[in-house]
Amino acid sequence: MPTKTFEFQVEARQLLHMMIHSIYSNKDVFLRELISNASDALDKLRIEALRDDTLNADVSDLHIAIEADTDARTLTIRDNGVGMSHDDVVQLIGTIAKSGTAEFLQQMKQAENTAAAEGLIGQFGVGFYSSFMVADEVTLLTRRAGETTGTRWASTGEGTYTLETVDEAPQGTSVILRLKPEDTEDKVFDYTDPAKIREIVKRYSDFITWPIRLATRAPAAAEPPEQENDEAGERPEPETLNSRKALWARSRDEVSDEEYHELYKHISHDWADPLEIIQMRAEGTFEYQALLFLPSHPPRDIFSQDNKRGVQLYVKRVLIMEDCEALVPEYLRFVKGVVDAADLSLNVSREILQQDRQIQLMHRRLAKKVLSTIREMKANRPENYASFWREFGRVVKEGLLSDFDNRDTILGISSFATTHDAERPTGLQEYIERMKEGQQHIFYMTGESRSAIERSPHMEVFRDKGLEVLLLTDPVDEVWVGSVPEYQGRELRSIAKGEPELGTEEDTEEAKADREQQREEYAALLTWMTERLGEDVKDVRLSSRLTVSPACVVSDTGDVTPALQNLYRAMGQDIPAGKRILELNAGHSLVEGLRRAHAERPSDPALPGTAELLYGMALLAEGSQINDPARFTQLLAERLERTL
């Protein structure tokens, strides 16, 4: 078969260039990555064989073999797993299908130092390509289980790769590395040295469930007696390097954090350590063990539709499903880990799992356990919690819309930006503890950013009276906050909806009388304005929330806010634009002037324009758009002219 040469896709070339010029200081991890890929391929084959008994594949001795040749300076990592078809190789190895590659490369270029670059690569993961950190040529020979021909791929990592169809290829994948010369200064060690290989496997891959066997030329220890007469005296029995112990079945004090971290990295394809380790065990009629991890940062596709979520499902130490979404709710989709159940059928399907009562029970218990871990982290490891919430808070809050059983717990572990402290978000409990005397409600406002909310006229009276307001700026906040009525008996109240009800008004007889008098004075103006602006607003009334601005617009208590309307429209739902309420500040001289002018000259032709301007200004002040900017500008220009 002819060998054909191909060019790497631009992003792949750039990524390889980075690898070759070794931005990552710990080069040993290439072996972890290759073993991890091999182990995944073995898992996939076993799962396929379970589901398809016509698959023509050998599953009798699934394992990973490492062969080191000191003289030739080659290192081979071989598995007899699922392998890749010709198309798979082109797609998976020649190109980089990951979303966000271009953006990642851009960030990489801008990374200021090695630590920053390593942090970035940790978020991205480059798996197979990391072999170019230690090899100046990489050959991959692979045959998909069930197919007859194989594919050889080879590259020096410099722009091109070759592809060739081969008739003789064992099932699975071999990756053959022609190693770069040893250079301890650059942390490229002698990777043909059995001691080095043992050390790396022990360190990073000990838990891998498949045997990792090392075949070396020189036997490591005295040969066992039955081998003495073996004619291939130089080819000793391969040595299994990993203990293959299931970490979730061992007690916490037997396992080091580093071992847990390596299992996490293997499962999640993350290069960074996890933030939290969660272990649980259920005994009784339905037994299972779970080892879950909270990552330290979200995967790039956490908000994408095809984000792979879920944990690995094992049945008595045998992996039967990679991303079992039936076990964790969607709002905890970042949780990674393993659940090992004792009594499930090995070839249970996703559909059956979704309906299985035991699985639903596990789902509930796992969700509760994760939430209680976050609560415990909030109480005892505030720094970890703060970092967790920064990274995942937006996702967790989705649970307020879907998990009614755990709503209070989710509210309890949530944090929100607040006017109380610009630097530190607050929990609801802390908010309640700080509430002013007489204050009944938890006040919040939604908006695009902290600064937009802070500038909004709705904040004025709250700022004046020192009442704390939560600043909700995540898109999901718009949605949940409308459906969560209260926390610990305290109503959640938007400061941009309905009447503020501050609870701190001095309700003296005098104040009441003042307000009554004001209402009477303004009655005619308000009726007239409601009529004039009737196409845009449903009511014009006096405000108790304004202290500086002349006017603002608010929504009625039960109304869908404009931001939420936009959100629904973005999702393709047709939502009619509802009318809002215009509030006037009776203490503002412009409003007072308008009242006087209306009382004295009700048919003055300039009055309607002023009313329109007031409404337009209220919209602009909260960051909304005005219906007819040209008309607004014209009215404004006319009035400015008169001042000159």
Ligand X SMILES: Nc1ncnc2c1ncn2[C@@H]1O[C@H](COP(=O)(O)OP(=O)(O)OP(=O)(O)O)[C@@H](O)[C@H]1O
Site of interaction with ligand X (CB under 6 A): 33, 37-38, 41, 79, 81-84, 92, 125-129, 173, 269
Instruction: Give CA–CA dist 7/95, Å, rounded.
Output: 10
Q: How far is the CB of 64 from ligand X (least distance, A)?
A: 9
Assign 3-class secondary structure to 35-59: HHHHHHHHHHHHHHHHHCCCCCCCC
- Contact in structure between 236 and 222 (CB atoms under 8 Å): no
Q: How far is the CB of 244 from ligand X (least distance, A)?
A: 18
Q: How far is the CB of 19 from ligand X (least distance, A)?
A: 11
**Under DSSP, is residue 163 helix (H, G, I), strand (E, B) or coil?**
strand
**Under DSSP, is residue 615 helix (H, G, I), strand (E, B) or coil?**
helix
Q: How far is the CB of 256 from ligand X (least distance, A)?
A: 23
Q: How far is the CB of 391 from ligand X (least distance, A)?
A: 18
Q: Where are the beta strands (DSSP E) in 264-416?
A: 276-282, 288-294, 311-315, 318-324, 336-341
Q: Which two three-digit tokens encode residue 132?
A: 């170019």
Give the residue with the Cβ less far from ligand X, 141 or 411.
141
Give the residue with the Cβ less far from ligand X, 151 or 419.
151
Burial tier of 69 (Cβ tally within 10 Å: 0-12, 13-18, 19+): middle
Q: How far is the CB of 356 from ligand X (least distance, A)?
A: 29
Give the residue with the Cβ less far from ligand X, 171 or 555.
171
Give the residue with the Cβ less far from ligand X, 335 or 413.
335
Q: How far is the CB of 39 from ligand X (least distance, A)?
A: 9
Question: Which residues neighbour 617 within 8 Å (Cβ) at sequence distance 6 or greater?
Answer: 549, 550, 551
Q: Is 269 left (phi over 0), alpha (psi -120 to 50) or beta?
A: left
Give the residue with the Cβ less far from ligand X, 127 or 562.
127
Nearest residue to ligand X by CB is: 127
Give the residue with the Cβ less far from ligand X, 156 or 566.
156
**Under DSSP, is residue 204 helix (H, G, I), strand (E, B) or coil?**
helix
Adjacent-strand bridge partners of 161: 6
Give the residue with the Cβ less far from ligand X, 82 or 396.
82
Q: How far is the CB of 182 from ligand X (least distance, A)?
A: 25
Question: Using alpha carbons only, how large is the chain's radius of gyration in Å?
Answer: 33
Give the residue with the Cβ less far from ligand X, 266 or 580.
266
Q: How far is the CB of 319 from ligand X (least distance, A)?
A: 15
Instruction: Give CA–CA dist 615/549, Å, rounded.
Output: 12
Burial tier of 629 (Cβ tally within 10 Å: 0-12, 13-18, 19+): exposed
Backbone angles phi, psi at 403, to 5 degrees: -110, 85
Q: How far is the CB of 125 from ligand X (least distance, A)?
A: 3
Give the residue with the Cβ less far from ligand X, 28 or 478.
28
* CA proximity to 454, closest of 622, 255, 258, 634: 622
Q: Which two three-digit tokens encode residue 231?
A: 């004619």
Give the residue with the Cβ less far from ligand X, 158 or 408.
158
Instruction: Give CA–CA dist 349/320, Å, rounded.
Output: 9
Instruction: Give CA–CA dist 425/181, Å, rounded.
Output: 52
Q: Which two three-digit tokens encode residue 280?
A: 């649980």
